[in-house]
Chains A and B, each alone.
Chain A
Amino acid sequence: AQSVAQPEDQVNVAEGNPLTVKCTYSVSGNPYLFWYVQYPNRGLQFLLKYITGDNLVKGSYGFEAEFNKSQTSFHLKKPSALVSDSALYFCAVRDSINDYKLSFGAGTTVTVRA
């Protein structure tokens, strides 16, 4: 079985400050890890993914994520948050030998105040 936990329902930061959204996962094999962002009344937009290789993954809009196998974590980070980063963020995982289905976390609402 595979699962994802996003321990924080909400994250609030001031514009210009670093932003971190936490994610931990559980899989039986090697993980494929993904981050998506959702704006109101929209579908999910792909931000970045980890498949293999460098533990630091860079994605869209200045976001990056660090894969930590020992802590089974894949936290999303942005060095300097913008008001426009306010949205709902989802972490997702699939087992590299699974049948292609993703398991999503419950989501974290990020609010960046001006």
Chain B
Amino acid sequence: EADIYQTPRYLVIGTGKKITLECSQTMGHDKMYWYQQDPGMELHLIHYSYGVNSTEKGDLSSESTVSRIRTEHFPLTLESARPSHTSQYLCASTGGPPDTQYFGPGTRLTVL
């Protein structure tokens, strides 16, 4: 098991609320990623970071934002949650070559 953590594991909130999904890794990896996944479906990359103060949008457009102030921490924020944001969010990280991505357990978000 990789040392990458996500909290909360499950979150049920009402529309319009601001939320932050936490992701931390203790492996010193410089590259981190956020994926969105509907149950049993494929993964879509929504954000990634190659180091502190570096963030990029992924292949799937997302209303969420991310920050990378510390190497080990890569939180994702939704300023105003909507039912369309209901999904599972997976965080991953990689270190040096050959860049195997290791995943956290995921946060299952439900917006009512």
Contacts and interface: CB of A to CB of B under 8 A. Distances in A.
Interface in A62-107: 88, 90, 92, 94, 99-102, 104-107
Interface residues of A, number: 24
Given A88-B40, A100-B31, A105-B42, A42 B105 contact: yes
Q: Which of A43, A99, A100, A109 has most B Cβ within 10 Å?
A: A43
A25 interface: no
B103 A45 contact: yes
A107 B41 contact: yes
B42 A104 contact: yes
A104 B43 contact: yes
A32 B98 contact: yes
Nearest to A41: B108
Contacts of B59: 101
Contacts of A56: none
Given A88-B40, A100-B50, A32 B99 contact: yes
Interface residues of B, number: 27
B76 interface: no
A21 B58 CA distance: 27
A36 B31 CA distance: 19
A107 B90 CA distance: 15
6 contacts: A46-B101, A49-B100, A88-B40, A100-B99, A102-B45, A107-B41
Given A42-B105, A46-B103, A100-B31, 15 more contacts: A32-B99, A34-B100, A41-B106, A41-B108, A42-B106, A43-B90, A43-B105, A43-B106, A44-B43, A88-B40, A94-B99, A102-B101, A105-B42, A107-B40, A107-B41
